[in-house]
Amino acid sequence: MFEIGIIEKISIIGGQNKDGMGENVRELDVFAGSSLAVVGPTGSGKSELLSDIEQMAHRDTPSGRVVSVCSGAQSGGDGDGDGLVAQLSQKMSFIMDGTVDRFLSLHAESRNRSGRDIVNDTIEMANSLCGEPIKPGDSLQVLSGGQSRALMIADIALISNAPVVLIDEIENAGINKLQALSVISSSNKPVVIATHDPLLILMADRRLVMKNGGMDRVLVSTDYEKDILDEVRRIDLYMDKVRYCLRLGIALQGDAEVI
């Protein structure tokens, strides 16, 4: 088992794409405190890569990749990485039948972080990310998709304390994606985020382009992309306001007050 310590970086050694050809990117490191956006068309292998990292793949997945962590932690045996990675996956459902309060209390207890405060803080943080508030007595099974993801993000930030964070398409969760990203990035962890969202892609330190199941290229923002980031942010905010109004049944008006 791994003992959780401060992770310096995760290293990915390339394997093969869907056709069995070697990946163009042979080796990739993601350092603590840095973010990597994983981009590419639907089916290009973004979730597969996240899953490889989560499993600490060792040539035992379809891609044949090897993923390792470099940390101050000791490792022994052939640890399965339990507790090492917090993954917010694309498809999410709770298999536990209980209340939000009970789930968070049990999880906090299992991480030696028990106490009323941490449960309340986690619910409060989750509610700052989603529209309809989550109540402590709500059954996990009745939470909406967005509420579940908001709860998991707050859990990742405050309870799970995992040193590596993986996020799959946070933009489709119906929650405040920028606030969620800032909550998660505030800790000094390597963050890997699969996304189709232009703003999230441009905000990441680097982006990994996936193609046909393989890691194709690693890019950093060009000077032009850095220049237009504020403009993209402005357009994104505009779209957020339009979405907010339409979702609440507020008619869009010609005057600038609403938008």
Rounded to a whole number of angstroms, the minimum distance from the CB of residue 122 to ligand ATP is 27
163 binds, among ligand ATP, Mg ion, none (CB under 5 to 8 A by kind): none
90 versus 127: smaller Cβ distance to ligand ATP: 90
18 is a site residue for ligand ATP (CB under 6 A): yes
40 is a site residue for ligand ATP (CB under 6 A): yes
To which H or E segment does residue 210 belong? Answer: strand 206-211
DSSP 169-190: -GGGGSS-HHHHHHHHHTSS--
Q: What is the Cβ-side half-sphere exposure of residue 139, based on CA atoms within 13 angstroms? A: 6
Extract the tokens encoding 136.
Answer: 């402590």
Residues 43-82 that bind ligand ATP (CB under 6 A): 43-48, 62-63
150, 85 contact by CB (below 8 A): no
213, 198 contact by CB (below 8 A): no
186 binds, among Mg ion, ligand ATP, none (CB under 5 to 8 A by kind): none
Kindly tell me which residue out of 17, 44, 47, 71 binds Mg ion, with binding defined by CB under 5 A.
47
DSSP 224-242: HHHHHHHHHHHHHHHHHHH
Task: Give the x-and-dash track for 196-215 against ligand ATP (CB under 6 A).
Answer: -----------------xx-
Which positions touch ligand ATP (CB under 6 A)? 16-18, 40, 42-48, 62-63, 90, 213-214
Which positions touch Mg ion (CB under 5 A)? 46-47, 90
